[in-house]
Amino acid sequence: MTTIQFRTDKETKEQSAAIFKELGINMSDAINMFLRQSILTNGLPFQPKIPKYNAVTEAAIQEARDIIAGKIIVKTYKTVAEMNADIDAMPDEE
């Protein structure tokens, strides 16, 4: 491993660190992603962004977070056949 040092202003560091945290990565991970993509594309690679969500998407993301946190209990299946049998047993919606 090697170390790279660079300078940036405090506001840029804080704002980018907050974005990276929301994406689940740290500053070092983000810089490594940038460098690796630069190599792959032989230039400036991409501009990752946090997408703007609508209310339905926000609700789905929150539901997923609640499931992960154990706030919502969902039924799980050991096999696809078990899940399909459960689906087949459901009454038809009309």
Whether residue 89 sits in one domain with residue 71? yes
**End-to-end alpha carbon distance in the chain:** 61
Total tally of structural domains belonging to the chain: 2
Whether residue 71 sits in one domain with residue 43? no
Distance CA 86, CA 78 (A): 12
Whether residue 38 sits in one domain with residue 7? yes
Dihedral in degrees, nearest 10, Cα atoms 11, 15, 17, 22: 170
Structure tokens at 14: 């804080």
25 contacts 33 by C-beta, under 8 angstroms = yes
Distance CA 43, CA 46 (A): 9
Kindly report, residue by residue over 29-87, the tens digit of the pLDDT: 999 999 999 999 898 887 667 777 889 988 999 999 999 999 999 999 999 999 999 99
User: pTM of the predicted model, to two decimals?
Assistant: 0.47
Q: Which domain holds residue 32?
A: 1-50
Whether residue 46 sits in one domain with residue 11? yes
